[in-house]
Amino acid sequence: MSEITIVLYAPPDAFLDAIRDKDYFVTTSYGNSIEQRDAAHRREIALRDELDLLKVRHSKALAREEALEKEIDAVRIQGLCNQSPSLNTKQDATQ
């Protein structure tokens, strides 16, 4: 995912609504002073960092879930093979 920062001073509401409907991470801030804009920018960076952290945690959780599902499937298949009467009789006949 690439990142781009665009600073618009007093953008029209219709423009903001249009870009919020997309799959973009958009923040807006209103303020007249440089300090207010800097504070808003720092909040935006903090939110973006938190979002990135949550995405990493989510992907790790999905990977763990997938690994557990594979292990469960392997145990089920092994259990079905052990319960199969045709396999057991063939083994008994060869012994």
The span from the CA of 49 to the CA of 2, in Å, is: 14
Computed over every residue of the chain, the mean pLDDT equals 77
Other C-beta atoms within 10 Å of 71: how many? 10
The span from the CA of 92 to the CA of 88, in Å, is: 6
**Which residue ranges make up each domain of the chain?**
13-94
Q: What is the pLDDT of residue 59?
A: 94
Residues of the chain with pLDDT under 70: 1-11, 20-32, 84-95
Q: What is the pLDDT of residue 67?
A: 95
The span from the CA of 4 to the CA of 19, in Å, is: 13
Q: Which two tokens stand for residue 88?
A: 């057991």
